[in-house]
């Protein structure tokens, strides 16, 4: 599926949009102490196309439904790949699913990262913590389109070395031609030989040509706020900075109002927004 910048997937009729499709877990991979990746296949045989940045509503039978970003390769449409952190009842139940168990899936939903804006330019991904999961589909896309980009920069920060998501992939990307990877942690023990410091400090050092860079940022809201400010201060045009926002979601299709942020419904108008559309809202806490 190809969505233009800021374009949402067409809204399904409420009844159709609320109906989960049956999926089965085909593989379960522990990532961090509280975090797993599930690979799932549709039991109804329907297509699984998605655009980088979109999410699904995952339904754990008898427990409830939560929004989870798609973190797989958009070119591989036979498997749905999602990385989930257990923070409560529903995400905990999803993380506990094992091979062969079933769940419900609605989606893909929401807006896409406007990856095509980066053609002929540098593409910088700035991710914090679990924010690498929603940006991983961009990296797959960028690798497939490497010759059409001036360069790909991945800037990743997390709390401590044991919290680094997809460490083997990060290592592989760091030795891939055309990709530059910078990893930093907030704090580390003596055996860590990498960088220590917040991810925003690494942003200016990783930028090659700010005016010709399109940036995609995902992570905790405070990290995104400072990362967007650092990118803009370094000369990245504000229209070329994109962020993925999170709010508690119920319907996921612009119906219930749970995910409202100012004038936006995050499930329908987001989760991916150009920085100028949310810049002022992000400075208002608890909005």
User: In angstroms, rounded to a whole number, what is the distance separating the alpha carbons of residues 92 and 287?
Assistant: 27
> Please, which residues bridge with residue 32 across strands?
35
Nearer to ligand FES, 226 or 255 (CB): 255
Q: DSSP strand E in the chain: where? A: 21-32, 35-42, 55-60, 64-69, 80-85, 102-109, 122-128, 151-158, 179-185, 195-196, 213-218, 241-244, 260-261, 264-265, 272-274
Among ligand FAD, ligand FES, none, residue 113 binds (CB under 5-8 Å by kind): none
Nearest partner of 165 among 74, 67, 85, judged by Cα: 85
Nearer to ligand FES, 8 or 158 (CB): 8
Contacts of 281 (CB under 8 A, 6+ apart): 261, 262, 264, 287
Nearer to ligand FAD, 92 or 167 (CB): 92
State the residues that interact with ligand FAD by CB under 6 A: 55, 64, 66-69, 83-85, 87-92, 130, 133-134, 246-249, 271
User: In angstroms, rounded to a whole number, what is the distance separating the alpha carbons of residues 48 and 73?
Assistant: 11
Minimum CB separation of residue 286 from ligand FAD in Å reads: 12
Nearer to ligand FAD, 133 or 236 (CB): 133
Stretch that binds ligand FES, among 10-18, 115-123, 145-153, 247-255 (CB under 6 A): 247-255
Pick the binder of ligand FES from 21, 146, 258, 279 (CB under 6 A): 258
Minimum CB separation of residue 170 from ligand FES in Å reads: 32
Minimum CB separation of residue 221 from ligand FAD in Å reads: 9
User: In angstroms, rounded to a whole number, what is the distance separating the alpha carbons of residues 220 and 222?
Assistant: 6
Minimum CB separation of residue 107 from ligand FAD in Å reads: 10
The residues that touch ligand FES, with contacts defined as CB under 6 A, are: 249-252, 254-259, 265, 267
């Amino acid at each position: 599926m190809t969505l233009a910048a800021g374009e949402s997937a067409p809204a399904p009729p409420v009844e159709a949009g609320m109906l989960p499709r049956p999926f089965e877990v085909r593989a379960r991979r522990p990532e961090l102490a509280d975090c797993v990746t599930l690979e799932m296949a549709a039991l109804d045989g329907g297509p699984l196309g998605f655009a980088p940045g979109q999410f699904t509503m995952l339904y754990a039978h008898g427990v409830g439904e939560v929004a989870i970003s798609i973190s797989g390769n958009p070119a591989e449409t036979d498997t749905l790949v999602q990385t989930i952190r257990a923070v409560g009842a529903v995400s905990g139940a999803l993380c506990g699913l094992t091979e062969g168990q079933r769940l419900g899936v609605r989606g893909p939903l929401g807006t896409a990262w406007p990856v095509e804006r980066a053609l002929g330019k540098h593409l910088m991904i700035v991710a914090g913590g679990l924010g690498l999961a929603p940006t991983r589909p961009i990296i797959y896309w960028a690798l497939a389109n490497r010759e059409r980009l001036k360069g790909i920069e991945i800037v990743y920060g997390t709390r401590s070395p044991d919290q680094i998501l997809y460490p083997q992939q990060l290592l592989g990307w760091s030795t891939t031609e055309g990709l530059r990877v910078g990893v930093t942690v907030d704090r580390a023990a003596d055996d860590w030989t990498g960088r220590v410091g917040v991810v925003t400090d690494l942003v200016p050092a990783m930028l090659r040509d700010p005016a010709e860079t399109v940036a995609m940022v995902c992570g905790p809201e405070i990290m995104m706020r400072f990362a967007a400010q650092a990118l803009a201060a370094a000369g990245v045009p504000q229209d070329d900075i994109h962020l993925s926002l999170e709010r508690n979601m119920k319907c996921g299709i612009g119906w219930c109002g749970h995910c409202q942020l100012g004038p936006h419904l995050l499930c329908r108008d987001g989760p991916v927004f150009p920085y100028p559309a949310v810049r002022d809202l992000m400075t208002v806490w608890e909005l």
